[in-house]
Amino acid sequence: MTAALVLQTSFLGDVVLTTPLLTHLAARGAVDVVATPAGAAILDGHPAVRRVIAYDKRRADAGPRALARLAGTLRDARYDAAYHAQGSSRTAALSWLARIPVRRGFDASAGRWLYTERVRYRKAEHHARRLLDLAAPADAPLPRPTLHPAGADHDAAAALLASAPFGDAAFVALAPGSVWGTKRWPDYPALVAALPPELGIVVVGGAEDAPQAAAIAATASERVLDATGRLRILATAALLARATALVTNDSLPQHLASAMDVPTITVFGPTVPQFGFGPLATTARVVEHPGPLACRPCSSHGPATCPLGHWRCMREIPPATVAAALASVTRDVAPR
């Protein structure tokens, strides 16, 4: 049986978008993944993955000694091929030091000089499609990303929802956070006021998103459940699977919703879906600034603050537009 190693130490959303590649490779043989500790948690229980090797590249495993130590471990595993879903020089050196005979990565990656095979980086494609290109033909169908929350994750989501002030009414999830400051649409509180009053609201995200959640809850505390920082990532995915829909920025929750096939509204400001990171749920809408802005997009990720100081790409997206997009994807659901 062949054994493949996938190196994916990038952002958590990228880890989710790597799952179609993992599933494709698993049809051929065993698949192991090198990921950050947080990325490893996302892949917990995924049937396409034999083993996740946690690589804490910025903390415990920082530096050349830790890199050489991990390379030795990988060398002992005798992988047939490595697939560089994250294309840094560091991960390229890792697979080279591990003496993996076939090392595939993108022709635009920083580590391409250490690859034995280079794959064209198709800039116009969705990133999940680009990652699948590392192993599949360019015309192969792109399946949705997949995640596999455990029973304990579903139980944790159910227990938290049992405390919701809206009882067992249908609810929408809101994800107001982002690592990148300019990606945070500021009008989630106003959006709540534009939604039907019988609809529950659950705010999802990490503990760092608590201030945004508090601002949302202040508008309608009788129907808002603040779930920020209260669930691990796969339990958040399990919670999203129960939602009528998700409204999110261009951030991780969008990709969790794609994996759980939850109707999704994504608000894009400094970035654009043409970068390849839009929603992949069966039912999804994108909301952007209503008019042309010469400064948009301003970066590949979205800066911490607007370079021009006006932040029009987000400030001028009306809550009514997002509410209308949400109404267009909302599906009827049975009570929990």
Domains for the chain: give ranges and CATH numbers. 2-132 (3.40.50.2000), 151-329 (3.40.50.2000)
Residue 17 has pLDDT above 70, yes or no: yes
Element (H, E) at 245: strand 245-249
Each as own residue / partner, the long-range contacts of residues 176-179 (CB below 8 Å, 24 or more positions apart, any chain) are 176/203, 176/205, 176/209, 176/212, 176/213, 176/216, 176/249, 177/205, 177/206, 177/208, 177/209, 177/212, 177/228, 177/249, 177/251, 178/249, 178/250, 178/251, 178/302, 179/11, 179/251
Going by the DSSP 8-state scheme, the letter that residue 209 receives in this structure is G
pLDDT digits (tens, 9 = 90+) for 167-220: 999 999 999 999 999 999 999 999 999 999 999 999 999 999 999 999 999 999
Using a pLDDT cut of 90, give the percent of the chain over it. Answer: 93
Element (H, E) at 190: helix 188-194
| Per-residue pLDDT at 61 | 86
When pLDDT is averaged across residues 135-154 and rounded to a whole number, the result is 96
Collapsing DSSP states into helix, strand and coil, what is residue 7?
A: strand
Tokens linked to 169: 């009414």
For residue 229, report the phi and psi dihedrals to the nearest 5 degrees: 70, 10
pLDDT digits (tens, 9 = 90+) for 23-60: 999 999 999 999 999 999 999 999 999 999 999 988 88
What is the gyration radius of the CA atoms in the chain, in angstroms?
21
Residue 136: CB atoms within 10 A of its CB come to 16
Q: Is 214 within 8 Å of 226 (Cβ atoms)?
A: yes
Collapsing DSSP states into helix, strand and coil, what is residue 286?
A: strand
* CA-angle at 136, arms to 82 and 23, nearest 5°: 75
Mean pLDDT value across the chain: 95
pLDDT digits (tens, 9 = 90+) for 90-131: 999 999 999 999 999 999 999 999 999 999 999 999 999 999
Tallying the residues shown for the chain, one arrives at 336
